[in-house]
Amino acid sequence: MCSGRVDLDFVLRAFANGMEGVFIGGCRLNECNYTTHGNYHALNMVLLCKRIMEHIGLNPERLRIAFMSSGEGNLFAEEVNDFTRKVKELGPIGASEENDLEALRPRIQEVRELVPYIKMAEREKLESRLESEAQYEGLFTAEEIDRLFREVVSYYIDPEKCQACGICARRCPAEAIVGGKNRIHVIDQDSCIKCGTCLEVCPPKFGAVQEIMGEPVPPPIPEEERTIERKSKSA
């Protein structure tokens, strides 16, 4: 499997399940077997994940990526043995973090729920191709990650402006918008991936979708109040 297919959520899920370390092995950079250069994406994902781990209090040394060819069995063994020794030094999750897994698991889960948003927000950097190890440290900064989580956006449909045209619901890639004919539409915040599609497609003449940052989303309008009363043409 191409290392580029290792998703950020795969790594976070492993730690949430109690794995003490995650090792990713990929082809040498610029020697991609599939010509997709997914190993660059894997590298960038790991650099991003390490910063996120720092942010939530998980030791970033529990995650490692190494590049080698299929013929370098000795190098693979050396890398795995060295990483295994490191993980044993760190001990179970929590031993080097001054926290236990039960305290860290909710933080990890919160990040997992934001993975689609994170990948969208950092898409340009995740697609970059670093030319040297000197660039690794500066690709993602602690300040950038702090801001990323501090400025998480949410989307809300103003019930006073929604005309139940259904465009946002049809275009939502996560099927997170509930509604129907003559029914005010509501975004299920638990299912929303924060892609902003609803904001983009909402007709300007309605302007019902709002972008909210740094504030709680208003509670959804009750079911019994979602019906839109249309005036008849004869009235």
Give residue 70's pLDDT.
84
Per-residue pLDDT averaged across 7-17, rounded?
97
Listed ranges 113-117, 128-132, 207-211; the one with the highest mean pLDDT: 207-211
Query: Is the pLDDT assigned to residue 232 strictly greater than 80?
Result: no
Domains defined for the chain, CATH in brackets: 3-150 (no CATH), 153-225 (3.30.70.20)
The answer to whether the beta carbons of residues 28 and 63 sit under 8 Å apart is: no
Q: Which residues 6+ apart lie within 8 Å of 69 measured at CB?
A: 27, 28, 31
Q: What is the pLDDT of residues 173-182, one digit of tens each?
A: 999 999 999 9
Q: Which amino acid is at 56?
A: I
Counting residues of the chain whose pLDDT is more than 90, the rounded percentage is 78
* Pairing of β 153-157 and β 209-213: antiparallel
Mean pLDDT of the chain: 93
Give residue 66's pLDDT.
96
Tokens of 112: 């997992």
pTM, 2 dp: 0.83
Give residue 134's pLDDT.
87
Q: Which amino acid is at 16?
A: A
Give residue 33's pLDDT.
76
Per-residue pLDDT averaged across 163-174, rounded?
96
Q: Which amino acid is at 122?
A: E
Count Cβ neighbours within 10 Å for each residue of 44-77 and write b for 16 or more, e otherwise.
bbbbbbbbbbebbebbeebbbbbbbeeeeeeeee
CA distance 77 to 107: 33
Query: Is the pLDDT assigned to residue 233 strictly greater than 70?
Result: no
Counting residues of the chain whose pLDDT is more than 70, the rounded percentage is 98
DSSP code string of 80-124:
HHHHHHHHHHH-STTTTTTS-HHHHHHHHHHHHHTHHHHHHHTHH
Q: Is 214 left (phi over 0), alpha (psi -120 to 50) or beta?
A: left
Q: What is the pLDDT of residues 35-89, one digit of tens each?
A: 788 999 999 999 999 999 999 999 999 999 999 998 899 999 999 999 999 999 9
